[in-house]
């Protein structure tokens, strides 16, 4: 479910608001009445949850504890609105819950605490929120040309090149699938709130029948890992390496300042623009800190041990991944932990094993990697601190380069 924030901004001459994703921790999906009653313990007045109605598909049921019993209220869908009493109508479940949290308004009691769903929050998909906020692009405004060039393959579908208002854009296409649509729109809604020169910018969202597209700025030079691999030691200069590290770190420091955790930081999720600026992309897994990733495919070699083991994702677990990303930059795109089979990586890492410095990697940079790979998340530096270190390293580097050229 989305609600609109009041923050407006101007981009491409039209005003757009942030589309905020509203998690519904109290929404348990299709569970039976008996299961709901089991979950509602201890029976304190006002303890509640919402489930999908099993008897009336499409409707919901609000289950509330009162005087040691559970009351089940049917929430019906009527004229695109939700209602319990056919007097008060709501656009979405979040609004309904909010209303009855303020006032019992005919229910047995006011809603108080909720029973949160374990393992994965639910969001509902609402294209209207994007429309209202000014983020919707009509499909007809995108010109795919004849070639329909595929820029890459994403988890949900292809990423294609198109023209939009005279500029090249990347279009990530999701073919009809309601489950994936939720994560896809969650990614989009998060992107509406983020704006930084080192994050791939969202331009808009297309809704066309069952198809949803994310339109982002076009990053002409592709992913950082491909860039490093294809050009290699001969063409990627030490100056490029430090620039990529600083760009990525600046994008991450911005996310850190916004308390957004990326969860999938890796050189494959950093893209390079025509001007060689590195930008972080793929917010598919970036969520509020409480989000519980279940059944997700973990990028094991990039994920901090506490995140792998206990799902403890944080800006500090992103810092661990940043250490791996630095290693990728300085090894020109090698796969981390070479020669260690994937199944053994965790075992080694938990014992404190750290990769060696790649050939020719400056000691200052390797020191950052080592700090990022501290088993204690709290002992790892913040992105803000690492950014300062990288910038002062760049200054030193430039000074010595000037020195060399002037003699
Ligand atoms: P997923 O979330 O499925 O991993 P990504 O956002 O990482 O999808 O995109 C997959 C690939 O598509 C990238 O590795 C890159 O090659 C290409 N790609 C994605 N976005 C862009 C873009 N804005 N410009 C150019 N290529 C892109
Ligand atoms: Mg990706």
* Pairwise pLDDT comparison (279 vs 184), residue with the higher score: 279
Atom of ligand 1 nearest to the CA of 216: 23
pLDDT digits (tens, 9 = 90+) for 150-168: 888 877 778 999 999 999 9
Least confident interval from 180-194, 304-318, 349-363: 180-194
Is 4 contained in some domain?
A: no
Active site residues: 264
Residue nearest ligand 1's atom 3 by CA: 154
Same structural domain for residues 250 and 102? no
Q: Which two tokens stand for residue 11?
A: 């981009």
Length, in residues, of the chain: 407
Ligand positioned closest to the Cα atom of 285: 1
Please tell me the distance between residue 299's alpha carbon and the centre of ligand 1 in angstroms.
16
CA-nearest residue, atom 4 of ligand 1: 154
**pTM of the complete model:** 0.76
**Ligand 1 environment, Cβ below 6 A:** 151-152, 154-156, 159, 170, 200, 216, 218-219, 222-223, 268-269, 271, 281-282, 284
Phi/psi class of residue 170: alpha, beta or left (left: φ > 0; alpha: ψ in -120 to 50)? beta
pLDDT recorded at residue 99 = 95
Q: What is the pLDDT of residue 43?
A: 94
Residues 288 and 377 in one domain: yes
Q: Which helix (H) or strand (E) element contains residue 235?
A: helix 224-235
Question: Which residue has its alpha carbon closest to ligand 1 atom 6?
Answer: 282
In a domain, 2, yes or no: no
In testing the pocket of ligand 1, which one of 151, 153, 158 has its CB within 8 Å of the most ligand atoms?
Answer: 151
Could you tell me if 304 and 385 lie in one domain? yes
Q: pLDDT-based confidence at 221, cuts 50/70/90?
A: very high
325 and 364 inside one domain = yes
The tens digit of pLDDT for each residue in 188-216 reads: 888 888 999 999 999 999 988 768 889 99
Q: Are 180 and 276 in the same domain?
A: no
The pLDDT assigned to 13 comes to 40
Residue 92 binned pLDDT confidence (cut-offs 50, 70, 90):
confident
Confidence (pLDDT) at 174: 81
Q: How far apart are CA 289 and CA 313, in angstroms?
A: 7
- CATH code of the domain covering residue 323: 1.10.510.10
Looking at the fold, whether 17 and 29 belong to one and the same domain comes out as: no
Helix axes 224-235, 315-330, angle to 10 degrees: 30
155 CA distance to ligand 2 middle (Å): 7
Q: Are residues 244 and 388 in the same domain?
A: yes
- Token pair for residue 55? 């008897």
Which among 108, 28, 22 has a CA at the least distance from the CA of 64? 108
Tally of structural domains, the chain: 3
pLDDT at 101 over 60: yes
Is 3 within the bounds of a domain?
no
Last residue of a domain, one of 183, 199, 217: 217
* Mean pLDDT for the stretch of residues 313-342: 96
Which of 200, 217, 234 is at the close of a domain?
Answer: 217
Tokens of 239: 């100056």
- In the annotated binding site for ATP, the residues are 172
Query: Where is average pLDDT lowest: 58-62, 345-349, 366-370?
Result: 58-62
Residue 176 lies in a domain: yes
pLDDT score for 147: 63
pLDDT in tens, 107-129: 999 999 999 887 655 655 567 78
Round the average pLDDT of the chain to a whole number and report it.
86
- Residue 60: left if φ>0, alpha if ψ -120 to 50, beta else—which one? beta
**Do 279 and 355 reside in the same domain of the chain?**
yes
Shared-domain flag, residues 253 and 355: yes
Nearest atom (ligand 1) to Cα of 187: 2
112 found inside a domain? yes
- Residue 185's domain comprises 9-21+127-217
Give the CATH number, domain containing residue 142: 3.30.200.20
Q: Which atom of ligand 1 is nearest to the CA of 152?
A: 12
Residue 360 Cα to ligand 2 midpoint, Å, equals 28
Look at residue 80 and tell me whether its pLDDT is greater than 70.
Answer: no
Please indicate, yes or no, whether residues 112 and 152 belong to a single structural domain of this protein.
no
In a domain, 1, yes or no: no
Backbone φ and ψ for 111, nearest 5 degrees, come out as -70, 135
Over residues 122-139, the mean pLDDT reads 79
Angle at 185 between CA 179 and CA 188, to 5 degrees: 150
Quick one: 135 and 13 in the same domain?
yes
CATH number (domain holding residue 62): 3.30.505.10
Determine which helix (DSSP H) or strand (DSSP E) holds 171, and give its type and residue range. strand 167-174
Q: Say whether both 307 and 379 belong to one domain.
A: yes
Q: How far is the CA of 377 from the centre of ligand 2 (A)?
A: 24
Nearest ligand, measured from the Cα of 264:
2
* 111 part of a folded domain: yes
DSSP structural state of residue 213? E
**Ligand 2 center to 269 CA (angstroms):** 5
Q: Of 183, 217, 251, which closes a domain?
A: 217
């Amino acid at each position: 479910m989305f609600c609109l924030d009041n923050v407006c901004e101007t981009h491409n001459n039209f005003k757009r608001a942030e589309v905020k994703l509203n998690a519904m921790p109290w929404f348990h999906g299709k569970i039976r009445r008996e299961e709901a009653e089991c979950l509602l313990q201890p029976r304190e007045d006002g303890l509640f949850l919402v489930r999908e109605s099993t008897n009336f598909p499409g409707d919901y049921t609000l289950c509330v504890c009162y005087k040691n019993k559970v009351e089940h209220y049917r929430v019906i869908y009527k004229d695109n609105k939700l209602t319990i009493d056919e007097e008060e109508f709501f656009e979405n479940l979040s609004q309904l819950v909010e209303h009855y949290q303020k006032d019992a308004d005919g229910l047995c009691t006011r809603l108080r605490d909720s029973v949160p769903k374990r393992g994965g929050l639910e969001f509902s998909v609402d294209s209207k929120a994007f429309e209202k906020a000014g983020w919707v692009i009509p499909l007809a405004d995108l010109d795919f040309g004849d070639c329909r060039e595929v820029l890459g393959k994403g988890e949900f579908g292809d990423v294609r090149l198109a023209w939009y208002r005279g500029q090249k854009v990347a279009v990530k296409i999701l073919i009809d699938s309601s489950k994936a649509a939720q994560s896809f729109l969650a990614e989009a809604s998060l992107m509406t709130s983020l704006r930084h020169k080192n994050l791939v910018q969202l331009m808009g969202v297309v809704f066309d029948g069952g198809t949803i597209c994310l339109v982002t700025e076009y990053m002409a030079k592709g992913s950082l890992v491909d860039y490093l691999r294809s050009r290699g030691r001969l063409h990627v200069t030490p100056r490029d390496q430090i620039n990529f590290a600083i760009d990525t770190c600046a994008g991450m420091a911005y996310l850190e300042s916004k308390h957004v955790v990326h969860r999938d930081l890796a050189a494959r999720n950093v893209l390079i623009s025509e001007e060689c600026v590195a930008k972080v992309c793929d917010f598919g897994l970036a969520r509020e800190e409480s989000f519980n990733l279940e059944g997700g495919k973990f990028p094991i070699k990039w994920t901090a041990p506490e995140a792998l083991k206990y799902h403890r994702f944080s800006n500090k677990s992103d810092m661990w991944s940043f250490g791996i990303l630095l290693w990728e930059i300085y090894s020109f795109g090698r796969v981390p932990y070479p020669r260690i089979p994937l199944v053994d990586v965790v075992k080694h890492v938990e014992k404190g094993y750290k990769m060696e410095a790649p050939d020719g990697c400056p000691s200052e940079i390797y020191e950052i990697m080592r700090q990022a790979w501290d088993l204690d998340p709290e002992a790892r530096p913040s992105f803000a601190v690492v950014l300062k270190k990288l910038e002062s390293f760049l200054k030193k580097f430039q000074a010595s380069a000037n020195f060399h050229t002037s003699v």
